[in-house]
Every structure is written in structure tokens, then in C-alpha cells.
Amino acid sequence: QVQLVQSGAEVKKPGASVKVSCKASGYTFSSYGISWVRQAPGQGLEWMGWISAYNGNTNYAHNLQGRVTMTTDTSTSRAYMELRSLRSDDTAVYYCARDYYDSSGYYGGLGYWGQGTLVTVSS
Amino acid sequence: QSALTQPASVSGSPGQSITISCTGTSSGVGGYNYVSWYQHHPGKAPKLMIYDVSNRPSGVSNRFSGSKSGNTASLTISGLQAEDEADYYCNSYTSSNFPVFGGGTKLTVL
């Protein structure tokens, strides 16, 4: 079965960087894209960006461009999300999620999610 | 990108039906049939409930249905059950090539 297992919670100081990993299993890693979504305390879901595990193409949310980098390592079936110049409002639970395709091959959104990684930014 | 507009909360009694709306623009919800809905129990991973406006992934109960009219998409849950109590988020592709989430709706089962 498809599983996405994320790295553990992090505490960072303002201005630092954080790199969250997402280990995939149960499918051919390079066949599906991975999105990253975050949820700040008391807030809704925010789409951060997407990376193709096939060729590394990325698409980042406008408000994070320049601070976020998404990468994949097909040898270990891992996706990574690095966020730099952290601010207090980056405190959130960060999720990785895999593309969903139905039986007809149509893209259907984010069908499989990791358990989430809490990143706390505090001085 | 602007979030899609959802009601902050809705409620219903067990067995009843409720509908959650999701309003966007003609360059998003109204322009594409790429609306999806996610159920999110606090502390757990979100779950895809509806994709492409009205399609259910395998394993999702047929009590959940989706529709769209103009710039507004809707999620309807029939035969409400206690376990349906959760936060629900819509998501839509936009002409900016970015998907955007709604602000979320808290469903309370009375």
C-alpha cells in the first residue's frame, strides 16, 4: 500500500532553514508528483508547491518563491522540502502528498498524504 | 493566490444532509472541472473525498457527492454520521497554474 512517512518535528530559530523529508513506499516513486502543503496553527491548508519525481520539474507558490526548494532522490524514494529564512509565521505542520490518478489515468488531486511534520520557529 | 471562500462552519444532526459551498472565480472554479474536496480530522492527514468536481476515489462512501454551478462548487454529505465531523477543504486549479485551497469549513454533527 502507498505510504508516505515524514521526518520528525523540528524547532528552528528565525532566519534558519529547515529541510523536511518524505519517504515513499508501495509504488514506483518516479511515476508520481509530490506536493507540499502546510497548515499554520488555527489556519487552513496552504499549497506550497509541487515537484515531479520523474524529472524534477517544480512549481512553487508565488509567496514562497525564493525561499523554498523541493527536491527528490529517486535512489531512496524520498522527497525533500527546504524552507529558508524562517519566520515565526512559518510555524506550521508540513505535509507531503502524492498525486492521485484514477483507473482511467485522470489526475484527481492529492490522494495520499504523509503524517505531517511540525516545524516550530521561535527565538 | 486568493483562497476560495467557504463558510466557516456548518452543522447537522445524524441522518440529515448538509452542503458546503466553495466560491471562486471564473479563472478557477468556474473555468475548470478540477475541484477537489478534502476531509481533515485534526491531528490526522487530510483525505481526498471528491476530485474533478464530482468523482469519488475508490473507498470513499457514496454519501459524499460533489457538484458545481458557475463559480461555486459544493460538497454534499447525506446521512450524516458522527465520524463525518471534521474540517473540509475545497481545492481548485487556477489559470495561474497554481492550485488553491478554500479557507476550510468545520462540520459539527449535533
Mean residue pLDDT of chain A comes to: 96
Radius of gyration of chain A (CA): 14
Residue A101: CB atoms within 10 A of its CB come to 15
- For A5, name the nearest residue in chain B, comparing CA atoms only: B45
- Beta-ladder partners of B91: B36, B101
Backbone angles phi, psi at A63, to 5 degrees: -75, -10
Residue B8 pLDDT: 95
Regions of chain A short of the pLDDT cut 70 = none
- Chain A: give the shortest CA distance to residue B45, in Å: 5
A to B CB pairs, distance under 8 Å: 64
Interface test with B, best of A4, A51, A110 (most B CBs within 10 A): A110
Chain B residues with CB under 8 Å of A95 CB are 45-46
CA atoms within 13 A on the CB side of B11: 3
Contact B101 A45 (CB under 8 A): yes
Regions of chain B short of the pLDDT cut 70 = 1-2
- Bridge-based pairing of strands B47-50 and B18-23 is unpaired
| B16 to B8, B41, B92, B100: CA distances (angstroms) | 19, 20, 27, 30
- Chain B: give the shortest CA distance to residue A81, in Å: 18
Residue A104 pLDDT: 86
Percentage, residues of chain A above pLDDT 70: 100
- Bridge-based pairing of strands A18-25 and A78-83 is antiparallel
